[in-house]
Amino acid sequence: MKNRKYDSKKEFKSGLKDGIPIALGYFAVSFSLGISMVAAGISSVEGTVMSLTNLTSAGEFAGVRIIAVGGTIAEMALTQLIINLRYSLMSLSLSQKLDESVTFWKKLLIAFGNTDEIFAVAMNHQKSLTLPYMLGLQSLPIVGWTLGTFFGAIATGLMPEKVSIAMNVMLYGMFIAIVVPNAKKSKPVLIVVLIAVILSCMFYYIPFLNEISTGITIIICTVLAAVAGAIFFPVKPKD
């Protein structure tokens, strides 16, 4: 898309403004991530670096879980590939709305900070997406995600053990807040979620299946639930 003349400072400030709500949400969620990291044996410094270089909530939570149970590098790689594969599709879609001044290397920079929420805000932006706007949009969420992880990890050592354990419920609350509204609106989403839940229970309770590692279990449940959704609820071309 074309936007031949634009004010870089104005575009950056506009992006910063649009990124404030995302940053606040990321801080709250990553605070619980920091707590989970410490529980998994990850130091506050290591956890902060992880969040600074990996802007993916579901990916990091899954990664921390795999680290906690002593999973292998292969399990980690496959899990991250499946969980974060959606970002490649988001980036392809986002690239169609970028200003013509955004070169290949600038696109790579934007792709690093392309998360679900940032993608949604960017796609709803009324003008073509410039580099200054995208940098502004991504800056505060990156800071919020990183600082939330740091303070969550630090707070774990300062809070009473019971409070620290209770804070882990935030993780489940986050996923419930993401899944339930969509499941209430869409029957296909509800059925796919139920399939995933049933599969997870089978791998947890059934002998032999419960011996499979957590990382592989996540991959199997994700793929099977997604395949079921694609078979029973295919998206029509016009949609």
Does position 147 have pLDDT exceeding 90, yes or no? yes
Task: Name the more confident of 74 and 179.
Answer: 74
pLDDT score of 161: 65
Check pLDDT > 70 for residue 103: yes
What mean pLDDT do residues 158-186 have?
69
In this prediction, what percent of the chain has a pLDDT beyond 90?
26
Query: What value does the mean pLDDT take over residues 30-54?
Result: 89
Specify the 3-state DSSP secondary structure of 98.
strand
Confidence (pTM):
0.69
DSSP string for residues in 15-80: HHHHHHHHHHHHHHHHHHHHHHHHHTT--HHHHHHHHHH---HHHHHHHHHHHHTT--HHHHHHHH
Q: Kindly tell me if the per-residue pLDDT of 128 is higher than 60.
A: yes
Torsion of Cα atoms, 103 then 107 then 109 then 110, to 10°: 130
Instruction: Kindly tell me if the per-residue pLDDT of 238 is higher than 70.
Output: no
